[in-house]
Chain A
Amino acid sequence: MKLYNPPSPLETRVVSRRFGTENSWRLDTYLATGGFEAFKKATGMTSDQIIDELKASSLRGRGGAGFPTGMKWSFVPKNVEGPKYIVVNADESEPGTCKDRLLMEHDPYQLIEGILIAAKTVGATKGWIYIRGEYRYLVDHLDNVLKEAYQRGYLGKNIAGTGFDFDLYTQIGAGAYECGEESALLESLEGKRGVPRIRPPFPAVSGAFQAPTVLNNVETFSAVPEIIRNGGKWFADLGTPKNGGTRLVCLAGHVKKPGVYEVPLGMNMMYFINEIGGGMRGGKKMKALIPGGSSCPLLRADECDIPMDYDSMAKAGTMLGSGGMMVMDEDTDMVKVALRIMRFYKHESCGWCIPCREGTTWLQKMLARIVDGNGASRDVDLIGDLAKNMLGRTFCPLGDAAAMPTISIVEKFRPEFEAYVAKNPFASSELVQVA
């Protein structure tokens, strides 16, 4: 397996510690580097002890929403009849995010061990890795790994001699961003149309096939073995007091050394970009940054001198999201950025609810018109207004994901929109300017 970027010495490598080593995806390599020690340790622990370790680790969901993992697992009801399931959200579709694929390519056993610990904790007997449609190549790889795991007794009956049984399958999606939303993922997993469900009930109570289900991101599960092996406190101490642990950041854009890096939470963002990412490409100045995938509000360059942790980002009005950081230099056309983002959301809106379905389409058409030079002066306000009309009113967070970056771009880079519009001689006309 190829590693796309060389590791940086400034990283704190926990979930990515095997990345780039020879045969890192093989069971023998995994076993030789502490593999399945955590699982064996977990078999001697009670569910509550495991959940307490997770809570102590301050591990939060790495898919984007950042929900505390220990708490999520604790919501799975105990003493209920019927099966329970584990579902891995490997529908890594957030633009800018490319970490889960590395975890599955380079260290699939770490993921499997995390899944097994989760299964042991809640008493699940079956699980699926739901892989995004565009990661078709990963299915064969993972199927081979699962085959090896079954053959060597790390899946199936009596796993590693612990008496614990668990079956794990891969499931490929059909290529829909919406299926990264956990309830839409479950619908898709069940073979239905990938539209989100009404919640409550949450998956922990009624998830896959109406059974209690633990549903986490690949990186979240992958972090579990090291947390159990070394203790929650150890993991938490890697980060800052309130934002413990490390996480993968997918650095992209106009930097010298783009790539996936594992850094402790709380690292200064500019330090990360300049020291690990090597600073801006071609000596350009930084203009803006998307901190955690295209659905996060943008930050101007002058807003980026903050620690990368959940609280500081919230204070800055944005999110850590799924770790897809995109850096833009001074030559970037922010109107085109807004259009590109909206094109994505228009394409990916599932169509279930009105504000998202119609709002993304309207915004995409309007932004395209502005870029084409047919913008009207009133359009600039309208973009912001429409995005706000979507915000918080859609069925699932996809509408918010489309609205938030748009609102921030218009607010922070309004002059660029106005410059586009000013080029249109009919910009202030009351007439309709449809190309």
Chain B
Amino acid sequence: MSNMVKLTINETAVQAPAGTLLIDAAKLAGIEIPAFCYYEGMALQAACRMCLVEVEKAPKLLAACVVPVTEGMVVRTESPAVVKARKTTLEFLLTNHPLDCPVCDKGGECELQDMVFKYGAGESRYTEVKVHVPEKQWSPVVFYDGPRCILCYRCVRVCGEGMGVGALGIVNRGVASEIAPSHGDHLECDECGACIDICPVGALTSGAYRYKTRPWEMEHVGTICTHCSNGCKTTLGVRNNEIVRGNNRDRSGLNGEFLCVKGRYAFDFNHHPERLQTPLLRVNGEMEEVSWSRALQAVVAKFKAGGKAGVIGSSRIANEEAFLLQKFARTVLHTNNIDHHRSGDVVTLLDALSGKTATLGTADDCYNAKAVLIAGADLSQQQPFLANQIRANYRHHKAGVYVATQGAVREDKIAKGVARTSGDCMDAVESLRDKLKSEPELLVLFGDSVKGEGVRKLVAFGESLGIPVKYICLVDYVNSRGAMDMGLLPDLGPGYHAVEGAPGMSLPQMMAATDLDLLWVVGANPLARHKLASDKAFVVVQDMFLTETARRADVVLPAASAYEKNGTVTNVCGQVQRLKRAVETVGAKTDLAIIGLIARGLGVNLGKVDADAVFAEIQKTVRGYNVPLPVIVTGGAAQTMPVNGRVPATVLPELIQSSRDTLFTTGTLTRYSKILNEVLEAPGGLYR
């Protein structure tokens, strides 16, 4: 790099790009300058005064978080003056801090504790009365303990700048300063809990986690959030086989530390008392709890009997399970009657893109693209992480954001161009043409209102702009994309190859078919939307809860949740990530294991039924999935290669329908999340 600045930190020669803040330059050189209020990516504060360092020729100590490096700068971060300043700043901080570490949630992972341990004084000189204010509850999940607060304003910034919500502010002044919700005594926000996560001390605590455990008593399992399609990495805190916390403080996944309300709190469905733990078998019209072997026998007997079968997969099961399910359907049941609830027209997009220069976008593109067009989707509600990426892109790179939607969305606030539509968005998109044309590149995110011909029109529109364009087709759930890639489609097999023989029935067709003999539903709840026309159909359901579909079933097999299995999922951008088992529920089995057991009962060899083995097969056989295994195994996200070539789809895209979930819902799972339901009752659920 040409624009490098040479400086000296602690007698070490350091080089950093011009404009780098001193605190970052030191970090690059492996020198820690402690700070509370400085937070990468957020506005500068210089409020905590922990990062004061000695700079030669400066009359006093300078805050390293706001001073850019300059040529020839001589900096000392451990000189006696600096050490004393840090020590006294911490002494000041502790004067009104309650030091209730033994009962504080943050104890053990508290930045104030760490700082005092490393830089603080050994004894306290403070003998006055401490300021105390009572703890406040702002929402079902957010508690604020004022005395613990060190006023670093990270929460205020992450809410305002990061989330684009601005639900937090500061009231009073001086030592009486407090963080407070903008709506007085309660929060009207996304309830994402980012404020709790970012709090360096125990001032903001989570209603779901508080007083449950000490941090060091938990096991930390990095897996993928099972709710929306963004595929955020979440590190589950597990204690005594119970998930007590979800966060991603180590910023290990594609989402960094971002999590929305679902990722952070809605893991509690996993421990819901209504979780199925014993197989159910319909005996004389009544559901009876039976053993696994008896239930499987009943299933195997019906599968052997043959007849017209239909298989409905899920957008929440792992890639391995989806792959094995379609393999079972096509090679054992010899049917293409396999489908799942589709929420985005990836199929048409892939076909429309074949032979074009435009490509698929990634989560990184949302942060780096010079311009972003959101067509027909409420990102902040349905794709919270992608929305966060775009907000950060606007904040850090001044990206041009364009919105073409049916109604008002949060992105309006940062948009360069806003157009409303009552139809399929193309009219609105078209009205933005001139502005979009002037951008150097574009990333288009489109929702389920753009499908079939709409997708082709959108791609044609992108081509006509004369700039590089990338597309992300938005889908609903954690493995909506993977389910399609794995071939849970009546007309397309794994990797979007045309199926052998005639295409099968789609989900609505299966539900409407009066002559269906067997319906196998894995992790889905089609009866919530459709009526099952065939009265004679023997229905096998694998699920975690007694859903509408499970109530109609003849056999219900208790399934493990995504947090209880290993495997992989593919997010909305086609990034493959690994699920890691965090807990177990007695009695439930993974869908993979259940499929394997049914196969064994039928005496069919599906190969080794184990997540790693099936993934190895996926890597070999599914187009685009030959991804580097080490990336996934180490908890990273591996981008699948785009499908290059025509996609011979025959099923009407009109069947595609998003569930239109909000930030607080994702179908069945969130209905069983106690915390999410409590939060829903809080006002301002759909805050924009």
Contacts and interface: CB of A to CB of B under 8 A. Distances in A.
Interface string A390-429: 0011110000000000000000000000000000000000
A362 B128 contact: yes
A361 B131 contact: yes
A48 to B, nearest CB: 30
Interface stretch (A133-141, A308-316, A344-352): A344-352
B126 interface: yes
Given A392-B61, A434-B129, A351 B151 contact: yes
Contacts of B211: none
Contacts, number: 99
Given A362-B95, A393-B61, A434-B127, A353 B47 contact: yes
A351 B88 contact: no
B173 A353 contact: no
B49 interface: yes
A393 B52 CA distance: 8
B173 A354 contact: no
B12 interface: no
Contacts of A348: 173-174
Interface string A181-222: 000000000000100001000000000000000000000000
B173 A389 contact: no
Contact of B92 (A176, A359, A395): A359
A40 to B, nearest CB: 43
A229 interface: no
Nearest to A358: B92
Contacts of A353: 46-49
Nearest to A363: B128
A350 B174 contact: yes
A366 B125 CA distance: 11
Given A351-B151, A352-B47, A393-B61, A357 B128 contact: no
A257 B43 CA distance: 51
B199 to A, nearest CB: 16
A365 B45 CA distance: 28
Contact of A389 (B47, B48, B88, B127): B88
Interface string B49-71: 11010000000110100100000
A360 interface: yes
A433 interface: yes
A1 interface: no
A365 B173 CA distance: 17
A382 interface: yes
Contact of B150 (A198, A354, A360, A434): A354
Interface in B157-179: 169-170, 172-177
B89 interface: yes
B44 interface: yes
A354 B46 CA distance: 10
A346 B175 contact: yes
A198 B44 contact: yes
Given A355-B88, A359-B92, A393-B89, A365 B49 contact: no
A214 B61 CA distance: 28
Given A354-B89, A355-B88, A355-B89, A362 B47 contact: no
Given A351-B151, A393-B61, A434-B128, A358 B44 contact: no
A32 interface: no
B511 interface: no
Contacts of A80: none
Interface string A328-372: 000000000000000000111111111101111110011001000
Contact of B48 (A176, A178, A354, A386): A354
A395 B180 CA distance: 22
B680 interface: no
A366 B177 CA distance: 20
Contacts of B50: 354
A357 B174 contact: yes
Contacts of A347: 174
B152 to A, nearest CB: 9
B174 A360 contact: yes
B409 interface: no
B627 interface: no
Contacts of B95: 358, 361-362
A193 B47 CA distance: 14
Nearest to B59: A392
B324 to A, nearest CB: 57
Interface residues of A, number: 34
B146 to A, nearest CB: 12
B31 interface: no
A338 to B, nearest CB: 16
B175 A357 contact: yes
B426 to A, nearest CB: 37
A198 B64 CA distance: 12
A164 B88 CA distance: 54
Contact of B173 (A351, A355, A392, A432): A351
A246 B18 CA distance: 45
Given A354-B93, A362-B92, A362-B95, A176 B173 contact: yes
Contacts of B169: 193
A361 B49 contact: no
Interface in A5-21: none
Nearest to B87: A389
B539 to A, nearest CB: 61
B83 interface: no
Of B47, B66, B172, chain A has the most CB atoms within 10 Å of the CB of: B47
A361 B89 contact: no
A243 to B, nearest CB: 22
B96 interface: yes
A178 B177 CA distance: 14
A395 B88 contact: no
B173 A349 contact: yes
A353 B49 CA distance: 7
Contacts of A392: 60-61
A374 B425 CA distance: 75
A139 B447 CA distance: 55
A37 to B, nearest CB: 42
A395 B61 CA distance: 11
B408 to A, nearest CB: 24
Nearest to B66: A198
Contact of B128 (A193, A349, A365): A365
B42 interface: no
A432 B49 contact: no
Contacts of B172: 351
B128 A395 contact: no
Contact of A354 (B49, B60, B127): B49
Contact of B175 (A358, A366, A434): A358
B116 interface: no
Nearest to A391: B60
A254 B125 CA distance: 37
Contacts of B63: 395
Contacts of A358: 92-93, 95-96, 175
B651 interface: no
B49 to A, nearest CB: 5
B91 to A, nearest CB: 8
B85 interface: yes
B92 A355 contact: yes
- Name the residue among B88, B151, B172, B175 with the largest chain A CB count within 10 angstroms: B175
B125 A393 contact: no
Given A358-B93, A362-B92, A395-B47, A433 B175 contact: no
Given A362-B126, A393-B52, A393-B60, 8 more contacts: A351-B170, A351-B175, A353-B49, A358-B175, A362-B92, A369-B128, A389-B84, A392-B60
18 contacts: A193-B169, A193-B170, A347-B174, A348-B173, A350-B177, A351-B175, A355-B89, A357-B175, A360-B174, A361-B131, A362-B126, A362-B128, A365-B128, A366-B128, A389-B85, A393-B60, A395-B46, A434-B129
3 pairs of A and B residues whose beta carbons are closest in the complex: A351-B177, A358-B92, A389-B88
Interface of A: 176, 178, 193, 198, 346-355, 357-362, 365-366, 369, 376, 382, 386, 389, 392-395, 432-434
